[in-house]
Structures are given as structure tokens and as C-alpha cells.
């Protein structure tokens, strides 16, 4: 508990610093919101040319995009600063992280907490509100629960992907870009129906990295849409167990990676 | 005169050499480009499935897949994102050292960037092109003796436009002090407007009409259009050359203005 308040104070200090350059901060939030919106623009442009994509209409794809965007945005906001890990390892400052009597992972989460990343969440939330107000979903208490659960589960999945992918930096110095393939690549892919992709790409980013459970299956359940790939409708509820499993794997990978760390010898 | 040219030539070679040192980064960058390329191929193929193969603005499925791999390869040559080096040096004041050297700062930085682009052409563009051509339906230029030289010129123009936009944005640090917001904004909007995510011919007509009056298509969509022979070749090259000239002149003017403003305190 005492640890938690330390993390909160560290994050607050970061935010205070960022707010001291107001103009730049506003610009940065706008940039993040636009970064998320550029994927939305691509969807809008594509649907200017087609009526459906991979068996899904405009509203269904927008729902996928909104759920995926919320998940990725929340994950990026809370654990995205782990992307600085390669720099810490290269410069040797990860040694300092190990010396402190706090969990290594959580130190990294707050070490460079960037409030501007909330810009992504804002765009995705706006889209979600629009989709929910314009499409006719047959609401039930279970579906409301699923709707609340999905971004949280998705954020945990993406957070685990961030941690697992960046753990590779302990072995390869230049792993940041490789990590991007599953983090940003995952965010890009999960905004579209998984039916669009084929072969090993679908297997890798949909199931091994469980991107299909971020938005695709929950959206099918919410919309009462039959899965063109044949999965039963309750698949959307697999979210929770998949999330726990992903987080466990990421945690184990992180522990192994940290044990492997030998410092740069500085 | 020869000594001066030799100096810029060495800067160009140094730029090439600097980036060729990071082999792991090349592999990681290529792997990332491939995965994003595969995602794009999936989405855009689904577009043609939904349209029963009907082309969009001169782009059929094969042309679109060729566009994806050309774009993913050009990304490593044109470099939309760049680094923060110049902006940081302006903020910290170190830029005074750069300005006092017996060179033209704009030309020197451009040479370094051309070296980087040259390395990108060999290490990033050619492998992506080979991958696309080997494993996917690919549209080779029908008129190779015209198209290949034109494509090289067009790519060079794309690098020049990209460099000058980044140069101008970094120079705003002289007035804004912290130009990261502006630079980040450009990094996000620039690539999409240049046609990285979806070909510009998919855009609504009004958006295409507006984009013609901006330098964005000159950085990616123009060289790709030259390669796949969509649109008028002379008009495309003219559009690019016009923007190269305008942006280079703007960079020159802005740098002169900034130099007049700089005050060196102490030493």
C-alpha cells in the first residue's frame, strides 16, 4: 500500500512537470488524439469505397476500432513508458532501478508517465459514444458488463504485450522497433475484423498475441453477430481468462529477463 | 571550390556510414515494415474483395499491393519522423557552434540526410521491393527505360521535400523554444497525408483536390505513382520539383532570419 502512494507521487510529479509547458502539452495531447484519429480516417476513407469489409459493415468496424483504441490508449497511458527500457539498459541506468526497494516494473511505468497519451483515449472514447448511440444493440445487463470489461481486459492484454515485447531488450539492444510490430501493429490489426487477415499473420497477431480477444470477439457478442470463422457467441467472454493468462506470461517473461540482466559494466 | 565540394561529399559519405553502423536497427526496422505491410495488404485486399475487384482511381489490386511494398520500402528512405537533433541543439544553444563553422548549415545537414537516404535505399528499400515482388502479385513498370530513371529522380525529390519540411519545423525552435509539439503533430499527420496508410486515390475527391496544393503527396504518393504509372509523369515531377524549390527557399530565408536573431552570450 505504501508503495502505491510512492508510485502515485512519482506520476504526479511527472504530470506537474509536463503541465508547466502548457502550449506544448496541449499540442502533444492533440498530436496523440490525431495519431489515433489517423487510423479512424483510414477506416472512413476505405468505407467511402466499400459497404462492408471482411463481412462487417461500417458500424461494426467502428465498434472494433473504438474498443481497440480504448484498450491500446489505456495501456499506452499506464505502461507505455516501458518503451524507454532500451535507453535505460544501454546507458546503464537500469542498475539504479534495481537498487531501489520497489518493484522494477512499476518503477518503469511511472518513470516517464506521459499524461499526453490520454489523447488517444479521448478519440477512441468519442468514437465509442458515437457508435453506441447510432447502432441498435439489444442491451442486457450481461452486455453492459461486457462493454465495461472489454476496454479494461483489452488494456491489460496490450499492457502485457508492451511488457513482454520490451523484455526482449534485455537480449537485443535495438528491440524497440521489433516491439512496435506487436504493440502498434497489434493496435492497427485489432481495429479491423480478424477475417480480413489470413495465414500466419492471423495466427500470430490474433491468437498467439491474443489480439482477436481485444475487440473482435467481444464486439461479435455485443452485436449478436455470428462469427464468419465459426466461433460460438460466448467467445466474447473468454476475454477475462485470456487476459489473466497473457498477464501471467508477460510477468514470467519479465522476471526471467530481469534475472538475465548483467549490466553494461559501467 | 574543389575543397568545398569535397567537404560536402565527405559529409554525405559520413551520413551513409553513420546509419550503416546500426545493423540490428536495419533488421528490426525491416521486420516492423514487413508486419505493417502485411496488415495493409490484408485490409486493402479485403477492399477489392468487397468491390469485386473494381479499381479505384487507377489502382487495381495488383497496383495496390505494389503500392504497399513500395511505400514500406520508401519509408526507410524518405524518413518522415527523423530525429530531434537540430531542434535539441537549437534549444540548448549548441547550434551556435554549427553556425560558426565554415559551411552552409542547410547544405551540410542536407548532405548528411542524403547519405542516410542512400543507405536507406540500399538497406531498406531494395529488400522490401524484392520481398513484394517475390511473394506477392507485383506490377513492374511497363516502360523501364523511362520509369526507373524517373522513379529515382522522384524519390530524390521526395527525400529533399521531407528533409526541408523537417528542417523548417526544427528551425521553429528558434522562436518556440520547445518545438516538440509541432514536430510530433507533423510526424503523425504527415505520413497519412502523404499516402502511407491508404493510397491518396482512395481519398474523397475534395481531399485529393486540397492535397494537390500541399507538399505531402510529393514525399510518398508521387514516387509510387511514377513507379506504377498512375497519373501524368511530367505533372507529378513538376509538382515535386516546385515544392523542392519552394521549401528550399523557405528554409534559406528562415535560417537567415534565425541567424540574425541569435545572440551569443559569453563564450
Which residues on B lie below 8 Å from A17 (Cβ)? none
Which residues on B lie below 8 Å from A173 (Cβ)? 24
Which residues on B lie below 8 Å from A27 (Cβ)? 181-182, 184-185
Give the mutation candidate from B198, B204, B208, B221 for the A interface (greatest A CB count, under 10 A).
B198
Alpha carbon B99 to its chain's center: 25
pLDDT digits (tens, 9 = 90+) for B77-88: 998 888 888 988
DSSP string computed for chain B: -HHHHHHHHHHHHHHHHHHHT-HHHHHHHHHHHHHHHHHHHHHHHHHHHHTTT--BTTB-HHHHHHHHHHHHHHHHHH-SS--SHHHHHHHHSTHHHHHHSSS-HHHHHHHHHHHHHHHHIIIIIHHHHHHHHHHS-----SSHHHHHHHHHHHHHHHHHHHHHHHHHHHHTHHHHS--HHHHHHHHHHHHHHTTSSS-GGGS-HHHHHHHTTSSGGGGTHHHHHHHHT-S-HHHHHHHHHHHHHHHHHHHHHHHHHHHHH------
Could you give the number of structural domains in chain A? 1
- The answer to whether residue B181 is domain-embedded is yes
Is the minimum CB–CB distance between B21 and chain A shorter than 8 Å? no
In degrees, rounded to 5, the angle at the alpha carbon of residue A10 between the alpha carbons of residues A7 and A11 is: 85
- The answer to whether residue B65 is domain-embedded is yes
Query: Which of A38, A172, A181 lies closest to B197 in CB terms?
Result: A38
Among the ranges given (A41-50, A89-98, A238-247, B27-36), the one the predictor scored with the smallest mean pLDDT: A89-98
Contact yes or no for B88/B170 (Cβ under 8 A): no
* CB contact (8 A) between residue A38 and residue B188: yes
Q: What pLDDT was estimated at residue A266?
A: 52
- The answer to whether residue A70 is domain-embedded is yes
- The answer to whether residue B215 is domain-embedded is yes
Kindly report the average pLDDT of chain A as a whole number.
Answer: 90
Instruction: Please measure the distance between the N-terminal and C-terminal CA atoms of chain B and give it in whole angstroms.
Output: 31
Is the minimum CB–CB distance between A174 and chain B shorter than 8 Å? yes
Average pLDDT, integer, range A123-132: 96
B216 against A18, higher pLDDT: B216
d(CA B175, CA B177): 6
State the ipTM, two decimals. Answer: 0.91
Could you give the number of structural domains in chain B? 1
Q: Is residue B94 predicted with pLDDT exceeding 60?
A: yes
Which residues on B lie below 8 Å from A56 (Cβ)? none
Average pLDDT, integer, range A179-194: 92
Is the minimum CB–CB distance between B42 and chain A shorter than 8 Å? yes
State which residues form the domain around A10.
1-260
Average pLDDT, integer, range B139-168: 95
Q: B92 falls in which pLDDT band (50, 70, 90)?
A: confident
- The answer to whether residue A265 is domain-embedded is no
Is the minimum CB–CB distance between A52 and chain B shorter than 8 Å? yes
pLDDT digits (tens, 9 = 90+) for B243-258: 999 999 999 999 999 8
Q: Is residue B267 predicted with pLDDT exceeding 60?
A: no
Q: Is residue A185 predicted with pLDDT exceeding 80?
A: yes
Q: A200 falls in which pLDDT band (50, 70, 90)?
A: confident
pLDDT digits (tens, 9 = 90+) for B195-211: 999 999 999 999 999 99
Q: A1 falls in which pLDDT band (50, 70, 90)?
A: low
Among the ranges given (B126-130, B187-191, B204-208, B236-240), the one the predictor scored with the smallest mean pLDDT: B187-191
Give B193 to chain A, closest Cα distance, Å.
Answer: 9
Closest CA to B48 of B191, B202, B200, B196: B202
Q: Is residue A174 predicted with pLDDT exceeding 80?
A: no
Is the minimum CB–CB distance between A104 and chain B shorter than 8 Å? no
Q: A25 falls in which pLDDT band (50, 70, 90)?
A: confident
Other CB atoms within a 10 A radius of the CB of residue A14 amount to 17
pLDDT digits (tens, 9 = 90+) for A32-56: 999 899 999 999 999 999 999 999 9
Closest CA to B91 of B182, B170, B186: B170
Is the minimum CB–CB distance between A173 and chain B shorter than 8 Å? yes
Which residues on A lie below 8 Å from B50 (Cβ)? 50-53
State which residues form the domain around B111.
1-260
* CB contact (8 A) between residue A45 and residue B202: yes
Number of alpha carbons in the 13 Å side-chain half-sphere of residue A22: 0
* CB contact (8 A) between residue B204 and residue A45: yes
Helix residue ranges per DSSP H, chain A:
2-19, 22-47, 58-79, 85-91, 94-99, 104-111, 118-134, 141-167, 176-182, 184-190, 199-202, 216-223, 239-260
Is the minimum CB–CB distance between A144 and chain B shorter than 8 Å? no
Beta partners for residue B56, in sequence order: B59
Q: A170 falls in which pLDDT band (50, 70, 90)?
A: confident
Q: B261 falls in which pLDDT band (50, 70, 90)?
A: confident
Average pLDDT, integer, range B11-25: 87
Among the ranges given (A175-179, A245-249, B157-161), the one the predictor scored with the smallest mean pLDDT: A175-179
Among the ranges given (A96-100, B2-6, B109-113, B162-166), the one the predictor scored with the smallest mean pLDDT: B2-6
Contact yes or no for B243/B156 (Cβ under 8 A): no
Q: What pLDDT was estimated at residue A264?
A: 66
The grid cell for A42 is: 483510414
Q: What pLDDT was estimated at residue B1?
A: 63
Contact yes or no for B184/A38 (Cβ under 8 A): no
- The answer to whether residue B265 is domain-embedded is no
- The answer to whether residue B251 is domain-embedded is yes
* CB contact (8 A) between residue A185 and residue B32: yes
Q: Is residue B115 predicted with pLDDT exceeding 90?
A: yes
Q: Is residue A192 predicted with pLDDT exceeding 90?
A: yes
Amino acid at each position: 500500500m505504501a508503495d502505491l502512494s510512492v508510485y502515485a507521487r512519482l506520476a504526479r510529479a511527472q504530470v506537474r512537470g509536463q503541465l508547466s509547458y502548457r502550449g506544448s502539452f496541449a499540442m502533444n495531447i492533440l498530436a496523440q488524439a490525431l495519431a489515433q484519429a489517423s487510423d479512424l480516417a483510414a477506416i472512413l476513407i476505405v468505407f467511402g469505397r466499400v459497404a462492408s469489409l471482411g463481412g462487417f459493415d461500417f458500424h461494426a468496424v467502428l465498434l472494433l476500432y473504438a474498443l481497440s483504441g480504448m484498450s491500446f490508449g489505456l495501456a499506452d497511458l499506464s505502461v507505455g513508458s516501458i518503451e524507454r527500457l532500451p535507453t535505460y539498459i544501454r546507458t546503464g541506468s537500469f542498475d539504479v532501478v534495481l537498487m531501489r526497494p520497489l518493484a522494477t516494473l512499476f518503477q518503469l511505468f511511472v518513470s516517464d508517465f506521459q499524461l499526453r497519451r490520454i489523447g488517444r483515449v479521448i478519440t477512441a472514447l468519442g468514437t465509442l459514444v458515437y457508435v453506441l448511440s447510432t447502432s441498435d444493440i439489444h442491451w442486457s445487463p450481461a452486455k453492459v458488463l461486457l462493454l465495461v470489461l472489454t476496454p479494461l481486459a483489452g488494456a491489460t492484454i496490450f499492457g502485457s504485450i508492451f511488457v513482454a515485447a520490451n523484455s526482449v531488450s534485455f537480449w537485443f539492444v535495438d528491440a524497440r522497433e521489433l516491439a512496435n510490430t506487436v504493440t502498434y501493429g497489434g493496435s492497427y490489426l485489432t481495429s479491423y475484423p480478424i477475417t480480413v487477415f489470413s495465414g500466419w499473420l492471423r495466427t500470430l497477431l490474433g491468437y498467439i498475441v491474443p489480439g482477436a480477444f481485444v475487440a473482435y470477439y467481444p464486439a461479435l457478442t455485443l452485436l449478436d453477430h455470428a462469427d464468419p470463422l465459426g466461433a460460438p457467441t460466448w467467445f466474447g467472454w473468454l476475454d477475462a481468462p485470456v487476459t489473466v493468462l497473457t498477464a501471467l506470461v508477460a510477468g514470467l517473461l519479465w522476471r526471467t529477463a530481469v534475472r538475465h540482466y548483467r549490466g553494461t559494466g559501467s | 571550390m574543389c575543397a568545398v565540394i569535397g567537404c560536402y561529399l565527405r559529409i554525405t559519405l559520413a551520413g551513409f556510414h553513420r546509419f550503416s553502423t546500426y545493423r540490428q536497427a536495419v533488421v528490426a526496422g525491416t521486420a516492423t515494415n514487413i508486419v505493417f505491410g502485411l496488415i495493409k495488404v490484408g485490409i486493402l485486399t479485403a477492399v477489392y474483395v468487397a468491390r469485386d475487384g473494381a479499381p479505384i482511381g487507377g489502382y487495381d489490386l495488383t497496383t495496390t499491393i505494389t503500392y504497399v511494398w513500395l511505400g514500406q520500402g520508401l519509408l526507410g528512405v524518405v524518413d518522415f519522423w527523423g530525429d530531434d537533433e537540430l531542434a535539441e541543439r537549437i534549444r540548448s544553444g549548441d547550434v551556435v557552434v554549427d553556425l560558426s563553422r565554415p559551411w552552409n548549415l542547410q547544405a551540410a545537414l542536407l548532405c548528411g540526410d542524403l547519405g542516410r537516404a542512400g543507405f536507406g535505399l540500399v538497406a531498406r528499400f531494395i529488400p522490401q521491393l524484392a520481398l513484394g515482388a517475390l511473394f506477392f502479385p507485383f506490377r513492374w513498370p511497363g516502360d523501364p527505360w523511362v520509369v526507373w530513371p524517373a522513379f529515382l529522380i522522384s524519390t530524390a525529390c521526395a527525400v529533399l521535400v521531407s528533409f526541408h519540411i523537417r528542417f523548417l519545423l526544427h528551425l521553429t525552435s528558434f522562436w518556440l523554444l520547445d518545438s516538440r509539439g509541432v514536430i510530433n503533430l507533423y510526424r503523425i499527420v504527415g505520413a497519412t497525408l502523404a499516402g502511407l496508410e491508404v493510397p491518396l486515390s482512395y481519398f474523397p475527391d475534395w481531399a485529393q483536390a486540397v492535397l494537390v496544393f500541399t507538399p505531402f503527396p510529393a514525399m510518398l504518393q508521387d514516387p509510387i505513382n511514377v513507379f506504377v504509372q498512375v497519373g501524368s509523369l511530367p505533372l507529378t515531377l513538376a509538382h515535386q520539383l516546385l515544392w523542392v524549390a519552394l521549401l528550399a527557399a523557405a528554409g534559406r530565408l528562415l535560417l537567415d532570419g534565425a541567424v540574425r536573431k541569435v545572440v551569443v552570450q559569453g563564450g
